[in-house]
Amino acid sequence: MTNYDIAAIRDLVARRRPRHALESAFYTSPEIFAADMDAIFNRHWLYVAVECEVPEPGDALAVDIGKSSVIIVRGDDAQVRAFHNVCRHRGARLLPPGPALVGNLVCPYHAWTYGLDGALKFAEHMGDGFDRACLGLRPVALRSMAGLLFVCLSDDPPDDIDDVVRQMEPYLAPHDLKNTRVAHTADLIEYGNWKLVLENNRECYHCMPNHPELTIPLFAYGFGFAPEELSAEDLAQAERYETLRRTSHDRWEAAGLPSRLIEHLDDRPTGFRTERLPLDGSGESQTMDTMAACRVPLGTLRDKAAGGLHFWTQPNAWHHFMGDHVVTFSVIPLDEGRTLVRTKWLVHKDAVEGRDYDLENLTSVWNATNRQDADLVEMTQRGVADPAYVPGPYSPHTEGLVEKFMEWYLARLKAHLG
Ligand code: 3BY
Ligand code: FES
Ligand code: FE
């Protein structure tokens, strides 16, 4: 049952002006939010967690996604599986959101007990003829991409994830995510529609005026600019960056570190983009002094100036993989005007806080950047909800990737609405 007017949304999609922000309703209407959850979040692969969060049998993690909740759990056979967090008796949630250590999955209501493989093992007083075999937990599609865990709530998940895994594993493998641990998680609720969060992430037009910390290591010029508008000094910076990108790619690729751009942001379900980007200063990490925040290098990375591998997936994630740590971001819509941005900082599993890294130093750039982005998203949400709002044009130089996100979103929404 849909609680939105399909024809009305189809009309709004059809009259969208290309290369412009969307009409207000796309950001403010509860009906379009419901359609987004159906068309996008219930049907596409979502990045939700990292395999190192469930390192041992019995380690579980419950993640809420809209009305759904998913349990990710490692079984006694070391396999990681995902199940709907809904008891097969009368529907109670089995686990609250967050991590848990479990022997079995025991429902708090009437103690129906499920194995880590989802099978119903015990249910008391259910009488003769009760068939436990058909009352196991309902599975959720799960894929690990070199340790990044993606789930898809649909019973018919897009199979193009296999191609993303194949192309991305060589880029991610050197960081050896399976031997990391989460040093810190930050849950930030941004007061804006999820699409404003993604639009904001897909450009760095706003970086120079808003991100004094991030632009120490990250070159805003890596995300487009109009050369004819740059001052001689800025043009020299942009050229320095282009040269550094070329020479770094040559060096990294020669050393077996895949680095060159891969971009598939067309209307395929599991769109993605990756490139290893050189960083400014020492080139080591996204920190305030550009130096590695953690002394223990990740995986096989011995070139300290390994830059930052940026990796985006549609619809809900972006990540930065560096030589010493990884920062991952997962976006979960809460309602039309609120979005959870969950950030995780990963370090080598043997790294010890205080000895090998300082948590404040590790997290300061992205904590500051996230707060700034949350403010930008909130002020935009307020503006697009104003009756005076009229969608404005995207920059052809700095917002080309925002347009690609929007085209992807509209194509996927349209495909769903039929
Ligand atoms: O985190 C990101 O992937 C992007 C890069 C440019 C803007 N935003 C910070
Ligand atoms: Fe789970 Fe009754 S609802 S055991
Ligand atoms: Fe930003």
- Report how far ligand 1's centroid is from the alpha carbon of 410 (Å): 22
**Once rounded to an integer, what is the mean pLDDT over residues 136-153?**
98
> How far is residue 316's CA from residue 318's CA, in Å, rounded to a whole number?
7
Residue 52's nearest CA partner among 84, 97, 99 is 99
- Report how far ligand 1's centroid is from the alpha carbon of 42 (Å): 25
Walk across the sheet containing 308-313 and list its strands.
180-190, 338-348, 326-335, 317-321, 308-313, 272-277, 262-264
- Report how far ligand 1's centroid is from the alpha carbon of 132 (Å): 49
> How far is residue 341's CA from residue 332's CA, in Å, rounded to a whole number?
7
By alpha-carbon position, which residue is closest to atom 7 of ligand 1? 204
Helix axes 194-201, 400-417, angle to 10 degrees: 140
3-state secondary structure of 141: strand
For residue 143, pLDDT over 80 is answered with yes
CA distances from residue 249 to 252, 277, 310 in whole angstroms, order as listed = 5, 8, 14
**Taking the domains of the chain in order of start, what are their residue ranges?**
45-145, 161-417
The DSSP line for 24-89 is THHHH-HHHHHHHIIIIITTS-EEEEEGGGS-STTEEEEEEETTEEEEEEE-TTS-EEEEES--TT
For residue 231, pLDDT over 90 is answered with yes
- Report how far ligand 2's centroid is from the alpha carbon of 336 (Å): 32
Residue 137's pLDDT band, with cuts at 50, 70 and 90, is: very high
The first and second tokens of residue 364, run together, are 């300061």
The first and second tokens of residue 266, run together, are 């067309």
Q: Which atom from ligand 2 is nearest to the alpha carbon of 111?
A: 4
DSSP 304: S
Residues 263-298: pLDDT tens digits? 999 999 999 999 999 999 999 999 999 999 999 999
pTM above 0.95, yes or no: yes
CB 123 within 8 A of CB 132: yes
**Once rounded to an integer, what is the mean pLDDT over residues 367-387?**
98
For residue 161, pLDDT over 80 is answered with yes
CB 84 within 8 A of CB 68: yes
For residue 3, pLDDT over 90 is answered with no
**Cβ of 112 below 6 Å from ligand 2:** yes
Phi/psi of residue 416, nearest 5 degrees? -75, -40
Residue 85's pLDDT band, with cuts at 50, 70 and 90, is: very high
Residues 201-221: pLDDT tens digits? 999 999 999 999 999 999 999
Q: Which ligand is nearest to the CA of 212?
A: 3
Q: Which ligand is nearest to the CA of 312?
A: 1
Question: What is the per-residue pLDDT for 236?
Answer: 94
For residue 375, pLDDT over 80 is answered with yes
3-state secondary structure of 35: helix
Amino acid 348 reads H
> Which value, to the nearest 10 degrees, does the dihedral of the CA atoms of residues 399, 403, 404, 410 take?
160
pLDDT over 90 for what percent of the chain? Answer: 98
Q: Do domains 45-145 and 161-417 have the same CATH topology?
A: no
3-state secondary structure of 351: coil
Handedness of CA 246, 250, 256, 260 (dihedral sign): positive
3-state secondary structure of 101: strand
Question: What is the per-residue pLDDT for 177?
Answer: 98
3-state secondary structure of 91: coil
By alpha-carbon position, which residue is closest to atom 2 of ligand 2? 110
**Cβ of 92 below 6 Å from ligand 2:** yes
**Once rounded to an integer, what is the mean pLDDT over residues 338-359?**
98
Radius of gyration of the chain (CA): 22
Question: What is the per-residue pLDDT for 107?
Answer: 98
Residue 6's pLDDT band, with cuts at 50, 70 and 90, is: very high
Side-chain-side CA neighbours of 101 within 13 Å: the count stands at: 2
> How far is residue 190's CA from residue 184's CA, in Å, rounded to a whole number?
19
pLDDT over 70 for what percent of the chain? Answer: 100
Percent helix, strand and coil across the chain, each to the nearest 5: 30, 25, 45
Query: What is the average pLDDT value for the chain, to the nearest integer?
Result: 97
- Of the candidate CATH numbers 3.10.20.740, 3.40.50.620, 3.90.380.10, 2.60.120.10, the domain formed by 161-417 belongs to 3.90.380.10
Q: List the Cα angle 265/267/273 in 5-degree steps.
A: 15
Tell which CATH architecture fits domain 45-145.
3-layer Sandwich (2.102)
For residue 1, pLDDT over 90 is answered with no
DSSP run (H or E) holding 302:
none
Question: What is the per-residue pLDDT for 205?
Answer: 97
Q: Which atom from ligand 2 is nearest to the alpha carbon of 94?
A: 1
**Cβ of 120 below 6 Å from ligand 2:** no
By alpha-carbon position, which residue is closest to atom 8 of ligand 1? 201
Question: What is the per-residue pLDDT for 200?
Answer: 98
Residue 276's nearest CA partner among 300, 260, 287, 297 is 260
For residue 2, pLDDT over 90 is answered with no
Q: Which ligand is nearest to the CA of 88?
A: 2
